[in-house]
């Protein structure tokens, strides 16, 4: 009978594994104990062994793909056996909602990827009920007569839309929906500062439809579609949510009702829609208001020069040119038809042109002036010096994206849970390391392995913890666990992130033994050869950045530990000894504590004990 092989849980924090490499292929004979594949977990890359004999009938995950724990990855059975029944049974136990996700993605990715325009191909069936609350709010603020009409429209709209959906193919409508783009990473809505076109105007694909005021600047919205402007949503001065409909461009005379009735994502556009429905033939009034506001804005934003008003330029370009005092006639436009846009104004360098008229005027005066007026010759020298021309550097914004590794996912999840769940507080203390430096030098003369300062810190923490049990505890919800054993976790940096191997029973080990274990752990951690049990069970953690010359830092608690010690570098600074200022070697340490378990006085007392041990290292040997 075919046997299903599922993704095992290889560590206590593992939620999914990546199939790093398959060692067998479909049709291969498998024996119990054979390695089927290598699986990358959140902590290490481990071998996945088979516990049955048979033939590999099916592989359910490709190399490099992440598979959740307990999900099917392979099927073993007799050669030629039909495995589809086992596959179907597993699928029935854990259905995967792939089809709905695929259906949603086809409609949701387009608005996110396209800057402004999108074709009306998305299914808005799930969006219809979303309009009820915004529509009611808009109806309350509107006049009573409009509110009554709005309610009737609201009650009838979902029913009408539901009935019309099977009959209307929006893909066949020759019109494109223009949505409010996300013009900055923090933008949630934009205010229509000015419409540059009115309903019925013909627009080109590179025309700036409107100026939109975001949370950071006023920017142009380009439609990227050519045709007739059929619909304008929010009026000038009104806000529209990101991804909400602000306009529709298409073939003149197109019925755009299905596009508007199916979209419920832009509550800010409801008021303009209502006006459009109620006013009926009042589009001329709207057009007059729009054109008059355009004239007012143009007159306000255009430079003083009358010649500039005849030059084709975007409103934003005119505004910037006015602020900088630049004459638009001196700028060459890069858009279609020589139209000047924002980039042209920002890249314009007037310095190269400025000295020319001065030099020409000086030459003319010199030629025409009589010899008797030679006293006036120094006048050209009084002309302003040519402005300094700085080279224009145009950079290119680029980036690459890589999938998040299992280790990075685990770091993100575990440390976020720790920081946002455990209330952290920090205690910092400076330690005089002169005596530890002398002791290390003496010990390394006879020790079988080289002792590092980190080994001194590990041993000192283990001894100090025995005197302060609260530091060695963990919060369990309804109880607090006080660990009587001391397992010190030592953070080791690797290329993909961070691993924390554990020195077990560190309080009973010598400096040489601790040094040998830490060096072995560090080497195997960088080679990704650590085993899961070697990284579990810590009761206290040390993070040391001293080798990087760090003056001071704080660390996030490695839960379920109650504390973590951040160790900085040893700095040569002046210190006071016996009333005299002398050079000294000082190391700062910062203890991060979980306030649910450890109080400030407890953390400070632990650091005092640690300080005394490192300033008198002979006490570590007692």
pLDDT tens-digit series, residues 326-374:
888 888 888 777 778 888 888 888 654 444 444 444 445 444 544 444 4
- Nearest 5°: CA angle at 588, between 587 and 590? 145
**pLDDT at residue 96 in the model:** 47
Share of the chain above pLDDT 70, in %: 74
Q: Are the beta carbons of 313 and 333 closer than 8 angstroms? A: yes
Burial of 472 (0-12, 13-18, 19+ CB in 10 A): buried
Using the predicted structure, report yes or no on whether residue 468 has a pLDDT greater than 90. Answer: yes
Q: What span, in angstroms and rounded, lies between the C-alpha atoms of 424 and 47?
A: 38
Using the predicted structure, report yes or no on whether residue 304 has a pLDDT greater than 60. Answer: no
**pLDDT at residue 136 in the model:** 43
State mean pLDDT over 234-251: 90
**pLDDT at residue 173 in the model:** 85
Using the predicted structure, report yes or no on whether residue 381 has a pLDDT greater than 70. Answer: no
Banded model confidence at residue 160, pLDDT cuts 50, 70, 90: very low
Burial of 318 (0-12, 13-18, 19+ CB in 10 A): buried
DSSP-assigned letters across all residues of 435-477? HHHHHHHHHHTT-SSPPPHHHHHHHHHHHHHHH-GGGGEEE-S
Three state DSSP letters for 58-106: EECCCCCCEEECCCEEEEEECCCCCCHHHHHHHHHHCCCCHHHHHHHHH
Q: What span, in angstroms and rounded, lies between the C-alpha atoms of 263 and 243?
A: 11
**pLDDT at residue 380 in the model:** 54
Banded model confidence at residue 135, pLDDT cuts 50, 70, 90: very low
Query: CB under 8 Å to 458, separation ≥6 — which residues?
Result: 488, 490, 503, 506, 514, 518, 542
432 membership: H or E segment, kind and range: strand 424-432
426 membership: H or E segment, kind and range: strand 424-432
Nearest CA to 137 among 274, 260, 261, 231? 274
Q: Are the beta carbons of 535 and 501 closer than 8 angstroms? A: yes
Query: CB under 8 Å to 576, separation ≥6 — which residues?
Result: 582
Query: CB under 8 Å to 254, separation ≥6 — which residues?
Result: 173, 174, 175, 230
Banded model confidence at residue 40, pLDDT cuts 50, 70, 90: confident
**pLDDT at residue 168 in the model:** 64
Nearest CA to 593 among 490, 470, 484? 470
Report helix angle 270-279 to 144-164, nearest 10: 100
Using the predicted structure, report yes or no on whether residue 460 has a pLDDT greater than 50. Answer: yes
Mean pLDDT of the chain: 78
State mean pLDDT over 293-313: 50
Banded model confidence at residue 126, pLDDT cuts 50, 70, 90: very low
- Nearest 5°: CA angle at 389, between 383 and 391? 175
State mean pLDDT over 144-172: 50
Banded model confidence at residue 289, pLDDT cuts 50, 70, 90: very low
Q: Does the predicted model carry a pTM greater than 0.85?
A: no
Using the predicted structure, report yes or no on whether residue 279 has a pLDDT greater than 50. Answer: no
Q: How far is CA 277 from CA 27, 149, 195, in A?
A: 67, 10, 20
Q: Are the beta carbons of 181 and 196 closer than 8 angstroms? A: no
Using the predicted structure, report yes or no on whether residue 122 has a pLDDT greater than 50. Answer: no
238: tokens are: 């009104």
Residues that are catalytic: 595, 599
Using the predicted structure, report yes or no on whether residue 473 has a pLDDT greater than 50. Answer: yes
Q: Are the beta carbons of 204 and 226 closer than 8 angstroms? A: yes
**pLDDT at residue 379 in the model:** 54
State mean pLDDT over 85-105: 57
553-564 residue pLDDT tens: 999 999 999 999
Q: What span, in angstroms and rounded, lies between the C-alpha atoms of 394 and 347?
A: 9
φ/ψ of 51, rounded to 5, equals: -110, 15
- Residue predicted with more confidence, 186 or 413: 413
Q: What span, in angstroms and rounded, lies between the C-alpha atoms of 468 and 458?
A: 15
State mean pLDDT over 131-157: 44
567-612 residue pLDDT tens: 999 999 998 888 899 999 999 999 999 999 999 999 999 999 999 9
Using the predicted structure, report yes or no on whether residue 117 has a pLDDT greater than 80. Answer: no
Nearest CA to 500 among 457, 461, 463, 532? 532
488-490/540-544 β-pairing: parallel
Q: What span, in angstroms and rounded, lies between the C-alpha atoms of 90 and 67?
A: 15
SS3 content of the chain, % helix, strand, coil (to 5): 40, 25, 35
Helix spans in 98-143 (H): 98-113, 132-141
486-530 residue pLDDT tens: 999 999 999 888 899 999 999 999 999 999 999 999 999 988 888
**pLDDT at residue 172 in the model:** 79
Q: What span, in angstroms and rounded, lies between the C-alpha atoms of 91 and 583?
A: 71
Q: Domains, the chain, ranges and CATH?
A: 3-96 (2.40.50.100), 113-296 (2.40.50.100), 302-348 (4.10.320.10), 406-621 (3.30.559.10)
Which of 163-177, 384-398, 597-611 comes out lowest in average pLDDT? 163-177
Q: Are the beta carbons of 268 and 240 closer than 8 angstroms? A: yes
Ranges of beta strands (E only) in 172-287 are 175-179, 189-195, 202-203, 208-213, 218-222, 227-232, 239-241, 245-250
> What is the distance in angstroms between the CA of the first residue and the CA of the last residue of the chain?
64
Q: What span, in angstroms and rounded, lies between the C-alpha atoms of 617 and 311?
A: 81
**pLDDT at residue 418 in the model:** 94
Which of 90-94, 253-257, 483-487 comes out lowest in average pLDDT? 90-94
């Amino acid at each position: 009978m075919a046997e299903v092989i599922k993704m095992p849980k290889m560590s206590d924090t593992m939620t999914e594994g990546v199939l790093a490499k398959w060692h067998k292929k479909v049709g291969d004979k498998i024996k119990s104990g054979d390695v089927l594949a290598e699986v990358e977990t959140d902590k290490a890359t481990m071998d996945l062994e088979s516990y049955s004999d048979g033939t590999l009938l099916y592989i359910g995950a490709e190399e490099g793909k992440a598979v959740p724990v307990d999900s099917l990855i392979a099927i073993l059975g007799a050669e030629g056996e039909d495995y589809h029944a086992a596959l179907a049974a597993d699928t029935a136990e854990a259905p995967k909602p792939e089809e709905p996700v695929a259906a949603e993605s086809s409609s949701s990715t387009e608005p996110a990827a396209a800057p402004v325009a999108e074709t009306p191909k998305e299914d808005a069936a799930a969006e219809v009920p979303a309009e009820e609350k915004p529509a009611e709010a808009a109806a309350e603020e509107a006049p009573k007569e409009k509110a009554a009409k709005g309610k009737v429209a609201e009650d009838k709209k979902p029913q009408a839309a539901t009935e019309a959906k099977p009959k209307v193919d929006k893909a066949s409508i020759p019109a494109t929906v223009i949505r409010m783009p996300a013009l900055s990473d923090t933008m949630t809505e934009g205010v229509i500062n000015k419409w540059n076109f009115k309903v019925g105007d013909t627009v080109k694909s590179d025309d700036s439809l409107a100026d939109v005021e975001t949370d950071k600047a006023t920017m142009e919205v380009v439609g990227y579609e050519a045709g007739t402007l059929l619909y304008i949503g929010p009026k000038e001065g009104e806000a529209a949510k990101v991804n909400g409909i602000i306009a529709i461009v298409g073939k003149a005379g197109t019925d755009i009702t299905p596009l508007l009735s199916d979209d419920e994502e832009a509550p800010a556009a409801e008021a303009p829609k209502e006006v459009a429905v109620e006013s009926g033939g009042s589009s001329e009034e709207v057009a007059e208001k729009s054109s008059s506001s355009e004239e007012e804005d143009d007159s306000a934003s255009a430079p003083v020069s009358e010649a500039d008003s005849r030059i084709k330029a975007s409103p934003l370009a005119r505004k910037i040119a006015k602020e900088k005092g630049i004459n638009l006639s001196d700028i060459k436009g890069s858009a279609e038809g020589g139209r000047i846009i924002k980039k042209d104004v920002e890249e314009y360098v007037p310095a190269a042109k400025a000295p020319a008229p001065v030099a020409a005027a000086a030459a003319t005066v010199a030629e025409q002036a009589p010899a008797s007026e030679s006293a006036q010759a120094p006048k050209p020298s009084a002309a302003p010096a040519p402005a300094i021309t700085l080279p224009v550097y145009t950079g290119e914004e680029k980036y690459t994206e890589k999938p998040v590794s299992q280790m990075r996912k685990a770091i993100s999840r575990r440390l976020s849970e720790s920081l946002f769940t455990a209330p952290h507080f920090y205690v910092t203390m400076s330690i005089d390391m002169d005596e530890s430096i002398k002791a290390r030098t003496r010990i390394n003369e006879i020790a079988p392995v080289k002792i590092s300062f980190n080994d001194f810190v590990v041993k000192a923490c283990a001894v100090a913890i025995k005197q302060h049990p609260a530091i060695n505890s963990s919060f369990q919800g309804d109880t607090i666990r006080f660990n009587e054993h001391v397992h010190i976790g030592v953070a080791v940096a690797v290329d993909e992130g961070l691993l924390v191997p554990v020195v077990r029973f560190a309080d009973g080990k010598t400096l040489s033994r601790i040094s040998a274990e830490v060096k072995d752990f560090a080497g195997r951690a960088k080679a990704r050869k650590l085993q899961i049990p070697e990284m579990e069970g810590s009761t206290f953690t040390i993070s040391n950045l001293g080798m990087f010359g760090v003056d001071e830092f704080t660390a996030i608690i490695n839960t379920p530990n109650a504390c973590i010690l951040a160790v900085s570098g040893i700095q040569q600074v002046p210190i006071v000894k016996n009333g005299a200022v002398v050079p000294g070697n000082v190391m700062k340490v910062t203890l991060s504590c979980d306030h649910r378990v450890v109080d400030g006085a407890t953390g400070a007392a632990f650091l005092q004990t640690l300080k005394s041990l490192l300033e008198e290292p002979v006490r570590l040997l007692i």
